[in-house]
A and B are shown apart, each in its own frame.
Chain A
Amino acid sequence: MSLAISRTGRRRQLQGMLFVSPFVVGFLLFFVGPMGFAAVISLFNWPILSEPTFIGFDNFTNMVSDGLFWKSLWITTIYTMVSVPLGMAVGLGLAMLLNQKVRGLAFFRTLYYIPAVVTGVSLAVLWSIMFNTQYGIINAGLRVIGLDAIPWLTHTAWVIPALIIMSLWQVGAGMVIYLAGLQGVPTELYDAASIDGAGRWSKFRYVTIPMLSPVLLFSFVLGIIGSFQSFTNALVMTNGGPSQASLFFVLYIYRNAWQYNQMGYAAALSWVLFAVILVVVVIVLRTTASRVFYAGTARGGA
Chain B
Amino acid sequence: MADQLERKPSGIQPHEGHAKSQALASQPAKPITVSKFLGRFGVYAILIGGAVIVLIPLVWMLSASLKPKSEIFTFPPTWIPWPPLFSNYPRGLETLQFGMALKNTLLITIPSVIGQVLSCSLVGYGLARFRFPGRDALFVLVLATLMLPTQVTLIPTFIIFSQLGMVDTFWPFWLPAFTATSGFNIFLFRQFFMTISTELEDAARIDGATSWDIYWRIMLPLSKPVFAAVALFAFLFYWNDFFGPLIYLPSTENKTLQLMLMNFQQFYTSDWGPMMAATLVITLVPLAIFFFAQRTFIQGVVFTGIKE
A interface, CB within 8 angstroms of B: 12-20, 22-27, 29-31, 33-35, 37-38, 41, 48, 94, 96-102, 108-115, 117-122, 125-130, 134-135, 137, 140, 143-144, 169, 172-173, 176-177, 180-182, 184-185, 187, 190-191, 194-195, 197-200, 203-204, 208, 214-215, 218-219, 221-222, 225, 228-229, 231-232, 236, 250, 253-254, 257-258, 263, 266-267, 270-271, 273-274, 277-278, 281, 294, 297, 300-302
Contact = CB atoms under 8 A, between A and B. Distances in A.
A23 B301 contact: no
A97 B126 contact: no
Contacts of A129: 64, 272, 275-276
B148 interface: yes
Nearest to B272: A129
A20 B13 CA distance: 50
Interface in B99-156: 119, 122-123, 125-133, 135-136, 138-139, 141-142, 145-156
A236 B262 contact: yes
B20 A236 contact: no
Given A26-B179, A38-B156, A191-B9, A181 B1 contact: no
Given A17-B126, A120-B241, A111 B153 contact: no
A73 B271 CA distance: 34
A282 B272 CA distance: 45
Contact of A225 (B43, B72, B147, B154): B147
Contact of B247 (A128, A185, A258): A258
* B interface residue count range (under 10 / 10 to 19 / 20 to 34 / 35 or more): 35 or more
Contacts of B127: 20
Given A24-B138, A26-B179, A184-B306, A125 B261 contact: yes
B247 A19 contact: no
B159 A263 contact: yes
Contacts of B72: 135
29 contacts: A13-B133, A15-B211, A19-B130, A34-B152, A94-B47, A100-B20, A100-B21, A113-B297, A114-B290, A121-B240, A135-B77, A137-B56, A176-B298, A176-B301, A177-B304, A180-B302, A180-B306, A190-B19, A194-B19, A197-B1, A208-B20, A231-B242, A253-B151, A266-B155, A267-B156, A270-B152, A274-B148, A297-B308, A301-B128
B297 to A, nearest CB: 7
Contact of A125 (B46, B53, B123, B279): B279
A178 to B, nearest CB: 8
B206 interface: no
A204 B175 CA distance: 47
B199 interface: no
B32 interface: no
B258 interface: yes
Contacts, number: 312
A298 B192 CA distance: 14
B87 interface: no
Interface in B1-46: 1-2, 5-6, 8-9, 13, 15-24, 28, 43-44, 46
Contacts of A176: 298, 301-302, 305
B124 to A, nearest CB: 9
Closest 5 CB pairs of A and B: A16-B130, A19-B126, A26-B179, A177-B305, A120-B240
Nearest to B155: A267
Given A128-B265, A300-B194, A113 B126 contact: no
Nearest to B162: A48
B180 interface: yes
A161 to B, nearest CB: 16
Contact of B160 (A37, A98, A102): A37
Nearest to A52: B159
B4 to A, nearest CB: 10
* B126, B145, B156, B247 — most chain A CB neighbours (10 Å): B156
B259 to A, nearest CB: 8
Contact of B149 (A218, A229, A294): A229
A18 B236 CA distance: 29
B149 to A, nearest CB: 5
B159 to A, nearest CB: 7
Interface string B213-255: 0010000000000000000000010011111000100000000
A54 B5 CA distance: 73
A37 B145 contact: no
A294 B306 CA distance: 11
- Interface of B: prevailing SS: helix
Nearest to A267: B155
Contact of A218 (B58, B141, B302, B305): B305
A228 to B, nearest CB: 7
Nearest to B2: A197
Contact of A169 (B53, B152, B264): B53
Contacts of A17: 126, 130, 132
A100 B151 contact: no
Interface in B186-209: 186, 191, 194-195
A109 B298 contact: yes
A108 B47 contact: yes
A167 to B, nearest CB: 13
B176 interface: yes
Interface string B287-306: 10110001001100110111
B258 A120 contact: yes
A121 B138 contact: no
A119 to B, nearest CB: 5
B61 A126 contact: yes
Contact of B131 (A13, A140, A172, A274): A13
